[in-house]
Structure 1
Amino acid sequence: MSAAAQHRITRLATLTAVHRAFHWLHLHQPQLRQWQLEMVCIPAPPFAESARAAWFLDRFRHLGLTNIHLDEEGNALAELASPDALPNTPCILLSAHLDTVFPAGTSCEPRQANDSPRIYAPGICDNAAGLTALLGIAAALRYAHITPPIPILFAANVGEEGEGDLRGMRYLFEQGPYRHRIAAALALEGGGTNTTVTRALGSIRLSVTVTGPGGHSWADAGAPNPILILSRILTAVAEIALPTEPLTTLNAGHISGGTSINSIPESATVLLDLRSTDPAHLRIAEAAVRKICDGFLTALATQRPTSSATNIMVQNIGNRPAAVLPDDSSLLETLRAVDRHLTLRTELRLGSTDANLPLSLGIPAMAIGTGGSGGGIHTLQEWYDPTGRETALRRILLTLLDTTQVTAGSHRP
């Protein structure tokens, strides 16, 4: 952390407008809680986030943001613009993902105990907490009449969880109209005050499907059985030697197939999740899985030359790049200065978040906790306690504002 960064943050925190923003955050904790209760009731299963996105567009309009729209991938976007900004002026992205891991039909109704601040609901922490912070920061900036030197792009984005494969971020950074403008990104993720993800855990996700002719368990006995073949493949996959340094993991997370107990199934599928901080080790692990499947397919052709209908297909269904925010990054320098000002301990962590994508492209990014505490993440008993949320929101606000100033200064002609 440099003395210059500390001086900037100390000065920034003394500004009257920043104090007004802090004042809004202090007085409007009930409003934040109400927003969180409203949004968590709106289901946002993977690839079906549109209803929650529409709710966010309405909130953005109510807060008086500009250029409010839904992009082609379904991200709900809005800007807090700088009056002097040109069309290609760099901007800072502040985002929180809309989607949850829970499938359509899951009851999202929040439950509250009269004597406890805890709220129970699927997705209440991951990521209703982050989404609430997104609105809180926008509201505080608008209330304080803060005009950033470069635009802030607010995004309630799709596709962070599971098979969403960061599709919202991929569109923003690879296809959308902002792709050449985003100079830094802060992804608001779950609870916690001190935590920040600056090391992106990479993952490759594979679908392995075995297909066959199927048939009756008695009349067609002896026909290739995809479930049994897949079981043998998984036994071999479990024996793949994976490094512990850097740690590389392989998980079989979901398996399906068959129709009834007395039917030889026509197909069986397993979903595999491979993770590592090293892209090379991910590729090696994926190659090992594919080699096993190719070997079984060759063996099947030799053993049952008449069973040409039997096939093994390996499909890549997800790829999250591994990356890291350099220790000398100005964004990390800003965060450390903010934490020192707020007397917080900076906890840098490894994780798989929306920050993976910009980090892999060399764009400064981090995923930052939005305060309070939570538990039971990705379960039906997920909970969130907003106690102490205000400090984390101040942390985000100061980091965001200083990043706009540093970026604006580095892009002056």
Structure 2
Amino acid sequence: MSAQAHFRITRLATQLAVHRAFQWLHLHQPQLRAWQMEMLAIPAPPFGEGERAAWFADKFRELGLADVGVDAEGNALGSLGDSSARKSVLLSAHLDTVFPAGTDTVPREEEIGGPILGPGACDNAAGLTALLAIAAAMRHAGIVTAAPVLFAANVGEEGEGDLRGMRFLFERGVHRGRIGAAIALEGAGTSAVVTRALGSRRYRVTICGPGGHSWTDAGTPNPITLLSRGLAELGDLIFPDEPRTVLSPGQIFGGTSINSIPSEASVLLDLRSTDPAQMLAVEREIHRTFENVVARATGSRLKIEMIGNRPAGELAMDSAMLRTIRAVDRHLGFRTELRIGSTDANLPLSLGVPAVAMAAGGTGGGIHTLGEWYDPAGREMALRRVLLTVLDLAGD
């Protein structure tokens, strides 16, 4: 760890304005819980984050952020500091959940002050609450940074969103080329930081046939059967422990009725690996497997589409950002946990912009299930960690 970074963080943490921000975080834990409960009741399915984004824009305005609005992709944005001075430090949290439209997202409490129960309670209402907390603490304390801080409640992190919110911010939006560092707030925990971006690719495999009646057209190629054969073959593949690689079928679609031979069936596949070359090898195996299955069934047709491509990347171990995080952790008494993951930080890392995903505090579980939960106990220290990191990155 850099002695210079440690000295800088120690000095930063003694500033009166920073202590005011810490005090705000300490005294307003009930407010953070109320915000989290309120936002959770607003559904944010993939490609349906609009209502929650509008709620965030209203909160950004109430907090007194500048340049508040919802951009063309649906990201809710606000900023602190002079955006013309230097490149911004982006602090973001994704709005969307994995749960489809119609899911009951109203949160529940089994005891007052206990865990918050409900879909998305941890992923990513914890990160979104932390985003508001940092903005509110900075405003209350009157903190002015040398570089502007851009706050973004962004769309498109989950499922087929394919990082569309981040892609817009970095590649097409008004902040393109104006972001110098990025922190994505993601889920529960205190000392974890994602510095290695796990690459992933998503595919839609569709098999078509003539269809027909289950009795009178018996023998006609059945797309569901063909799809199942291919999936069974892929399921028997043995991947090496290193580089770690995972291929998972997530959803299957198809069929008209119980007594019909379907004319179409499809499956969504999620491929992840720490090695881009291994991903390409498995991609070739996907094509080979289904092509062979279809070739043996006269009258069937195959279509394989890539519907998502998350780029990989890695924060250099000697980067200034990582030195800052290690210094903050030493100051707060944490042991930095470096992790690999697939987050919104993938996109900036792939573009060469220093980026990490940081935990937003508390504990959670049941991620991506209807039994998801989040306990905010201990959240305050993680928020201090995020605040000190942001302030150092945006400092002189």
Q: Same fold (TM over 0.5)?
A: yes
Deviation of 1:176 after TM superposition, in Å, equals: 1.2
Map of 1:372 onto structure 2: 362
Structure 1 residue 219, shift from structure 2 partner: 1.6
Conserved? CA contact 1:208–1:314, under 8 Å = yes
Tell me if 1:256 matches 2:237.
Answer: no
Shift in Å, 1:232: 1.5
Alpha-carbon distance between aligned partners in 1 of 2:385 and 2:159, rounded to the nearest angstrom: 29
Corresponding position of 1:8? 8
The equivalent residue for 1:86 is 84
For 1:30, the aligned partner's letter is P
Partner residue of 1:394? 384
Partner of 1:173: 170
Sequence identity (%): 63
Tell me how far apart the structure 2 counterparts of residues 298 and 109 of structure 1 sit (CA, whole Å): 48
In the alignment, does 2:324 pair up with 1:334?
A: yes
Post-superposition shift, 1:116? 5.3
The answer (yes or no) to whether the contact 2:206–2:267 under 8 Å persists in 1 is: yes
**Structure 2 residue matching 1:370: 3-state secondary structure:** coil
- Does the 8 Å CA contact 2:315/2:354 hold for their aligned counterparts? yes
Corresponding residue to 2:202 among 205, 215, 222 = 205
5+ residue gaps in structure 2? none
Give the counterpart letter for 1:53 in structure 2. A
| Structure 2 counterpart of 1:231 | 228
**1:68-122 CA-partner distances (Å, limit 9, x unpaired):** 111111000111123xx527x3111000000001111111111112365211011
Secondary structure, aligned partner of 2:394:
helix
1:224-373 → structure 2 map (5 Å cutoff): 224-300=221-297, 304=298, 307=299, 310-373=300-363
Contact 1:242/1:285 (8 A) holds in 2: no
Deviation at 1:141, TM superposition (A): 0.3
Residue 323 (structure 1) shift: 1.5
SS of structure 2 residue aligned to 1:153 = strand
- Return the alpha-carbon distance in structure 2 between the equivalents of residues 321 and 346 of structure 1: 24
C-alpha displacement of 1:279: 1.2
What CA distance in whole angstroms lies between the structure 2 residues aligned with 1:288 and 1:175? 34
Residue in structure 2 matched with residue 384 of structure 1 by the alignment = 374
Amino acid at match of 2:261: I
1:242 CA drift (Å): 2.5
Count of aligned residue pairs for this structure pair:
396
Which residue pairs with 2:148 in the alignment?
151
Distance between the aligned counterparts of 1:372 and 1:170, measured in 2?
29
Range with greater deviation from structure 2 (120-129 or 290-299): 290-299
Deviates more, 1:135-144 or 1:162-171: 162-171
For 1:57 and 1:91, the matched residues in 2 are separated by 19
Structure 1 residue aligned with 2:131:
134
TM-score normalized by the length of structure 1: 0.94
Q: Secondary structure at the match of 1:254?
A: strand
Q: Deviations over 1:29-72 (max 9, x none)?
A: 11101000100000000100000000000000000001011111
Q: After the TM superposition, which of the residue ranges 272-281 and 233-242 deviates more from structure 2?
A: 233-242
Tell me by how many angstroms 1:236 deviates.
2.2
Name the CA distance, whole Å, in 2 between partners of 1:289 and 1:114: 48
CA–CA separation in structure 2 for the residues paired with 1:78 and 1:280:
39
Unmatched segments (≥5 aa) in structure 1: none
Provide the secondary structure at the position in 1 that maps to 2:265: strand
CA distance in 2, matches of 1:339, 1:374: 21
> What is the rounded CA distance, in whole Å, between the counterparts of 1:329 and 1:373 in structure 2?
29
- CA distance in structure 2 between the partners assigned to 1:404 and 1:273 by the alignment: 36
Aligned partners of 1:173 and 1:179 also within 8 Å? yes
Distance 2:103 2:235 in 1: 32
CA RMSD of aligned residues (A): 1.2
* TM-score, structure 2 normalization: 0.97
* C-alpha contact (below 8 Å) 1:276/1:322 kept by paired residues: no
Superposed CA offset, 1:8-29 (max 9, x none): 0000001111111111101111
1:163 shift after superposition: 1.0
Structure-1 separation of matches of 2:186 and 2:223: 40
* AA aligned opposite 1:10: T
Displacement of 1:4? 0.5
Whole-angstrom distance in 1 between the partners of 2:25 and 2:113: 21
The answer (yes or no) to whether the contact 1:279–1:321 under 8 Å persists in 2 is no
Task: Tell me which moved more, 191-200 or 132-141.
Answer: 191-200
Partner amino acid for 2:289? I
Judge conservation of contact 1:96–1:189 (CA < 8 Å) in 2. yes
Aligned partner letter, 1:384: Y
Q: 3-state DSSP class of the match of 1:149?
A: coil
